[in-house]
Amino acid sequence: MCGRYMLHSDIEEILRHYGITKGWGNYTWPMEVFPSHKVPVVVNTGERELVPMKWGFPSPYRKGLIINSRGETVHSKPMFRRAFQQKRCIVPANAFFEWSRAGRDKTKYQFRMKQSSIFSLAGIYEDFQNDEGESYTAFSILTINPNPLVSLIHDRMPVILPREKEELWLDNTVQDIPLLKSLIQPYDESQMEMEKAHP
């Protein structure tokens, strides 16, 4: 799974990286993003736009948040199917974290790109209402079997979109399920690096 990631780039860098001129406001977010945090997410509503969304779909059993969706089944699961077909998004990140376990000890590792500060996590989003009846938008990050680098630490990794595939993923007029599923792949480990991170 992907349970935490880093976004230390400022808003101007994110807008510039994705070629966005529309969207955003006076939102701030913590550098290390946890589930339930509200963070910038890229959508395409005719043009690219940066919008604030909460990380995690509410659980139908009202216990916790569903922060990840399995890339292998996202197109068929009732909770995710409509969002996968109509509401795909990009979650900007500078790194993501996973933990190795040895008995009771856990070691935190950071994964990032070698050549680019910002990279794109494949996400889906949906609109919800909280207990007070207020509307909000939330996203889930897709995961897949890990590449050889991430498999040293964990048995899942987030789906990372190559730069040239971002436009296709964001184009919600595309309904070709096999084509969209072809984007859900472990990222090339030769383009990534890993190091121990602060707890």
Based on the residue annotation, tell me whether 2 is a catalytic residue of this protein: yes
Choosing from 2, 12, 32, 195, the catalytic residue is 2
Angle in degrees, CA 52, 54, 56, rounded to 5: 150
Choosing from 98, 167, 189, 195, the catalytic residue is 98
Based on the residue annotation, tell me whether 126 is a catalytic residue of this protein: no
Find the Cα–Cα–Cα–Cα dihedral 90, 95, 99, 100, rounded to 10°. Answer: 120
Instruction: Write out the E strands in the chain.
Output: 5-6, 22-23, 32-33, 38-44, 48-55, 57-58, 65-66, 68-70, 88-93, 95-102, 105-113, 119-129, 135-144, 157-158, 160-161, 192-196
Give the residue numbers annotated as catalytic, written as ranges: 2, 98
